[in-house]
Amino acid sequence: MHYQTISGLAPRIEAGDISPVELTRSQLDRIAALDGNLKSYATVTAELAIRQAEIAEREIAEGNYRGKLHGIPIAVKDLCNTAGIRTMGGSAVFTDNIPDHDATVVTKLREAGAVLLGKLNMTEGAMGGYNPRFQVPENPWRPSHWAGASSSGSGAATAAGLAYATLGSDTGGSIRHPAAACGTVGFKPTWGCVSRFGVMNLAESLDHVGPLTRSAADAGIVLQAISGFDPNDLTTLPHEVPDMLSEIGNGVKSLRIGWDEEYATSGIESSFANAIVAGVEVMASLGAEIVPVRMPEIMREAMAAWPVICSSEAATAHAATFPSRSGEYGPFFREWLANGSNHSAVDYAAAHRLRLLMNGGLRSTMRDIDILASPSTPKTSYPVSREVLYGSIPTDRDPWDSRFTVPFDFSGLPTISLPCGLDETGMPVSLQFAGHHLSEPQLVGAAVAFEQATEFHDLHPPV
């Protein structure tokens, strides 16, 4: 039951065949049994979850079914405000932070009838390193392996069957990275599609909030619920939220998929690259047209702009607590904030110019295609030590490693990441589809077509 999908559970819950209360208790029991090792949860809200499940069960029995998330146990990254429940953002600075209001995404999930199991562990400030006072989530596929950085708790919980869906955030890849490392679906929406009100900022012009799930349709269901204009976040788009599932079943025969083989496979381990190529070939076998394209030449230079923009905006976001409480931050994020504080306005402007040029080049690349295919990450999950995860920024950190994620944070284009096999070491490989702004229904339709032609989404870690 713990590896079922929302799509499969929802009609059974609506029909009364499955009790939301029993479903929630089974998830809480599984969390109690397994999460001591996996460490995906920062806070488990067991009493709240049972109370919400009881309400959902009563409403459904009375014929007041709210939709596919009604009675479904989910969890959110611990940077989404939850009224009366601590929200720490992975930082000791915010250990005692108890918001008096919910983030809009939490409100929307509650209004959809979802059951909140708890808050999920993450890197400090949603960047790359962990605060030494916090636990590091384990990759459920293999201990002491990278679980995807910022939204690592979200990836681990989803993959291990400790929630039917989770929310993550993505500033440079942190929905895609944990989805890829842990073998789940990750859906980064169009920037502005989902409100960020009540979500702790890393870099406001880059931050996205989106779901991690065990199927593409489930990702569409969750994104449907959390999307829409929010007067509390004027960066949200005023457009009507589309039906995220409307393209399912339409096939891909009219789809033009862009493919830059050198970009997608160069410098990548061979079994990983072969799985990505095979994934694109699956789409071709379903009737999609694979169109050769070239990624912008400025990409390599533009990747170096991301640390400048992100760290500068992070320093602004943490101005109330840094440097005044710098000793409470962990080594990585403390150094990141110091870097951001030291960048000049000229530095930021130069980086922003590179971002704009990158976005223009990407528009040209995608002008005559519907979807761009690539890996979600440059490598599969790899061994990591606590010393590295709790330490300072690695000196060998290479901006080019973010070439599959950062361009779509720069541009705000939507992406969906899908399991597409295992590498030679038995770790998950992830295929990414990127679309045009507000093309989320098309991405869901293409992703579901891929899943129906393969069985990779049915692979689960040996938990």
DSSP strand pairing (115-120 vs 185-188): unpaired
Q: How far apart are the C-alpha atoms of 315 and 297, rounded to whole Å?
A: 30
Please give the full DSSP string across 255-282, using - where no structure is assigned.
-EEEE-HHHHHTTS-HHHHHHHHHHHHH
Question: Among 19, 91, 150, 195, which one carries the catalytic annotation?
Answer: 150
Please name the helix (run of DSSP H) or strand (run of DSSP E) that holds residue 337, with its range, or none: helix 331-342
Question: What is d(CA 463, CA 461) in angstroms, rounded to the nearest whole number?
Answer: 6
Choose the catalytic residue: 7, 19, 91, 174. Answer: 174
Reading the block at residue 271, the tokens are 């079994």
Nearest to 186 by CA among 458, 418, 442: 418
Catalytic residue, candidates 68, 77, 119, 188: 77
- Tokens 């959902």 correspond to 56
77 is catalytic: yes
Closest CA to 40 of 182, 173, 170: 182
> Is 119 known to be catalytic?
no
DSSP track, 69-134: TTT-EEEEETTB-BTTB---TT-GGGTT---SS--HHHHHHHHTT-EEEEEE---GGGSSS--TTS
Q: Which residues contact 456 (CB under 8 A, 6 or more apart)?
A: 418, 419, 420, 421
Spatial separation of the C-alpha atoms in residues 131 and 118, rounded to whole Å: 20
Distance of alpha carbon 441 from alpha carbon 247, whole angstroms? 6
Active site residue 39: no
Q: Which residues pair with 375 in a beta bridge?
A: 431
Burial class (CB within 10 angstroms; exposed 0-12, middle 13-18, buried 19+) of 241: middle
Catalytically active residues are 77, 150, 174
